[in-house]
Structure 1
Amino acid sequence: MILRSSPASPFGRKVKLAAAILGLSDRIEVVPADTNDPADDLRSQNPLGKIPILITDAGEPIYDSRVIVEYLDDLAGGGRLIPAGEARVRVLRLQALADGIMDAAIIQIYETRWRAEDRREPKWVAYQAEKVSRALAVLEAEADALGDRLDAGTITVACMLGYLDFRFAGAWRAGHPKLVAWLDAFAARVPAFDESRPS
């Protein structure tokens, strides 16, 4: 299989961690993708031009990261990263919350990357930052429930916190000691977390 992604993508990192935890990393070749390059064939693989994209052994492109993680979980026998029953909803809800934080964080980055300084909208950036702040407060309050679980939700939380470290100099850490401790423990349990850290 081929994973189209970039080292900085937290969504691509989520797929890499899922593959490592499921023992599927050796079946996936990571091929860099440039979402800004119209000549990159990722736009024919995903018409949205977004990463990550997983090209299956049969040549079928799968996107987005949530769908890829579910595909990999099923490929590994099912129920390991996305459990059945009531636990499934809890895991998917956690994944959705962490994905939403990553979306809001990326929008803040894009505002500075894509708009000239005199055309940036501070209210829009503040609106996205408020989403991140509210959601991190919820995660801090619920951090004890994350425990030592390895599932689609906790993987996404780890990648989201890693992205905030990478793009926002770890400013989140000062007000979220439980999440800091949880992430340290997660990184110690999952070597692929440090191995996939963007530089």
Structure 2
Amino acid sequence: MKLYGSLTSPYVRKVRILVREKNLACEFVVADAWAADSPIPALNPLGKVPALALDNGDVLFDSPVIVEYLDSLKVPALLTVSGAARWEILRWQALADGMQDATASRLLESRRPAEQQSAENIRRQEEKIARSLKYTEDHLHSGPWLVSDRFTLADLVMAVALEYIDFRYPHDWRSRHPRLAPWLTGVSARPSLIETRPPGMEKK
């Protein structure tokens, strides 16, 4: 298998962490979706990363699809197969992906020429992020994991989302969420997260 994507995409990083956690044989190919000679449009008609080329020639795209496929290849599962825990994990993944979407939208808006920027759009994205941080803080359990009594996809995706906020929208969210800050410190110490941090990401 070959995983195509960029070093800075949190959606690609999510997949790379799962590959490391499960010790799967999967080659990582750095590919810029915006480059003129990019292989991405031929793999994914949406022109987005990540894209996973399977050994049989098929290609999977969109990170939730890819992580579920890869998770199915080897036990133990990071995404519970059925029951209430599965929907809880998927809800965390939806929240984490939305936080990353909002962070990326804010970043792109802020990079536009000053006279073309929408202060309203930036404010709306920041409000989404703030509400999501509060939701996460409010729904933390007493233990180190978001769901059940072990590391799951929920912990993986939320840690990636929080570190992406630090990377692309650095601000002092920790002082307002004192339980969430140490939770992230614990999860982000895993080797899989350390090894996949993109160039330029400063660990808080």
TM-score by length of 1: 0.91
Instruction: Report how many residues are paired.
Output: 194
**Cα distance in 2 for residues equivalent to 1:97 and 1:146:** 20
Over the aligned positions, Cα root-mean-square deviation in angstroms equals: 1.5
Percent of pairs with identical residues: 38
Q: How does 1:107-186 map to 2 (within 5 A)?
A: 107-113=105-111, 115-144=112-141, 147-148=144-145, 149-186=150-187
The match for 2:202 is: none
Shift of 1:58: 1.4
Point out which structure has higher relative CO (alpha carbons under 8 A, 6+ apart): 1
Q: Which runs of 5+ in 1 are unaligned?
A: none
The match for 2:8 is: 8
Q: Which secondary structure does the structure 2 equivalent of 1:177 belong to?
A: coil
Shift of 1:39: 2.1
Cα contact 1:166–1:198 (8 A) shared by 2: no
Question: What per-residue deviation string (whole Å, max 9, x for no partner) do you get for residues 80-131 of structure 1?
Answer: 1111211100000011011100111011111133x22211111011111111
**Cα distance in 1 for residues equivalent to 2:183 and 2:87:** 21
Shift of 1:185: 1.0
Q: Tell me which of 42, 45, 59 is aligned to 1:44.
A: 42
**Cα distance in 2 for residues equivalent to 1:119 and 1:11:** 28
Cα contact 1:165–1:171 (8 A) shared by 2: no
TM-score by length of 2: 0.89
Q: Which secondary structure does the structure 2 equivalent of 1:136 belong to?
A: helix
Cα contact 2:52–2:61 (8 A) shared by 1: yes
Shift of 1:146: 6.8
- Of Structure 1 and Structure 2, the greater helix share is in 1
Taking a change above 3 Å as real, the CA distance of residues 29 and 63 of structure 1, as seen in their structure-2 partners, is same
**Cα distance in 1 for residues equivalent to 2:156 and 2:12:** 12
Where in structure 1 do 4 or more consecutive aligned residues deviate above 3 Å?
A: none
The match for 1:193 is: 193
